[in-house]
């Protein structure tokens, strides 16, 4: 009964405070990286018509490297609108627009410390499940004009949110995020992100528990496994 009441309260909170303020799509773009031409889909910009979330990607969105992007566990990427101003102060020379972090959905009220692995949300016509945080790569640095953004991302809790799409559907700006189900309340997205990059030897038991989460994406489990490999007596 208490769990039901908590779930209802959280759902009400999310309806009030979490909503999509921008839907973003990108086209393939060629960038220079270490003297080579590399394609990327990270350059996403707002679209007025909304977007359609499919099982493995967002319809009409560029997903270039499917080894690391798209697929069941990374079908759509969300990022918090609330932290944009802080990032603009750090990188005032960047060419700013919503979608700057490569997100398909820019969400007001999103805080990774209050979003948990396995959470299920209705967004517009779709139903999604939180699968893992995003691990930033050099392509984000290229968009920002400096690779220093990667370390700053790693040292923040603002990873953004990858989701599985459990029910395909259209999402438009103004759609609320309604919490439908909370699978567990030990591992928030921010906690998984922190463990991936900052866990100490004393955190090994917690790392192992996190890796047992059924709803945590396999790529995130591999990342936690790499962190475990730093510690004596553990081998992946």
d(C-alpha 216, C-alpha 132), whole Å: 6
pTM of structure: 0.90
The stretch 127-144 carries a mean pLDDT of 96
Buried b (16+ CB within 10 A) or exposed e, 35-50: eeeeebbbbbeebeeb
Predicted local confidence at residue 230, as pLDDT: 85
* pLDDT grade for 20, boundaries at 50, 70 and 90: very high
CATH number at residue 83: 2.40.33.20
Based on the fold, state whether residues 174 and 93 are members of the same structural domain: yes
Same domain, 46 and 66: yes
Q: How confident is the model at residue 9 (pLDDT cuts 50, 70, 90)?
A: low
Asked, for residue 233, whether it belongs to a domain, the answer is: no
User: 31: which 2 tokens?
Assistant: 């960038």
Regarding whether 203 and 181 lie in a shared domain, the answer is: no
pLDDT at 232: 59
**79 has pLDDT over 90:** yes
Give me the pLDDT at residue 236, please.
46
- Mean pLDDT in residue range 4-32: 75
* One domain for residues 205 and 151: no
pLDDT given for residue 65 in this prediction: 78
pLDDT band at residue 190 using 50, 70 and 90 as cut-offs: very high
Residue 11 has what pLDDT? 47
Q: Which domain holds residue 180?
A: 2-186
Residue from 101, 128, 117, 87 nearest 193 by CA:
117
Q: Where are the alpha helices (DSSP H) in 122-229?
A: 138-144, 148-154, 189-198, 204-211, 218-228
Are 179 and 124 in a shared domain? yes
Residues 19, 94, single domain; the answer is yes
pLDDT at 72 over 50: yes
Q: What is the dihedral of CA 52, 55, 56, 62, to 10 degrees?
A: -10
């Amino acid at each position: 009964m208490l769990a039901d009441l908590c779930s209802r309260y959280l759902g009400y909170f999310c309806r009030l405070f979490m909503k999509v303020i921008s839907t973003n799509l990108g086209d393939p773009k060629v960038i220079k990286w270490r003297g080579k031409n590399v394609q990327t889909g990270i350059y996403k910009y707002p679209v007025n018509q909304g977007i359609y979330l499919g099982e493995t990607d967002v319809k009409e969105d560029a997903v270039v490297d499917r080894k690391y992007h798209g697929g069941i566990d990374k079908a759509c990427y969300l990022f918090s609108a609330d932290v944009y101003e802080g990032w603009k102060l750090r990188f005032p020379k960047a060419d700013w627009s919503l979608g700057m972090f490569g997100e398909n959905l820019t969400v007001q009220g999103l805080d990774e410390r209050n979003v948990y692995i396995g959470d299920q949300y209705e967004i517009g016509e779709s139903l999604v499940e939180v699968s893992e945080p995003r691990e930033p790569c050099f392509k984000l640095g290229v968009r920002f004009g400096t690779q220093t953004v990667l370390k700053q991302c790693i040292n923040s809790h603002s990873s953004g949110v990858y989701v599985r799409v459990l029910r395909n559907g259209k999402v438009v700006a103004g759609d609320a995020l309604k919490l439908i189900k909370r699978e567990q309340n030990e591992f928030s997205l921010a906690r998984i992100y922190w463990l991936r990059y900052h866990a100490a030897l004393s955190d090994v038991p917690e790392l192992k528990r996190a890796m047992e989460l059924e709803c945590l994406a396999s790529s995130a489990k591999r990342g936690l496994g790499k962190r475990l490999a730093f510690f004596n007596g553990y081998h992946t």
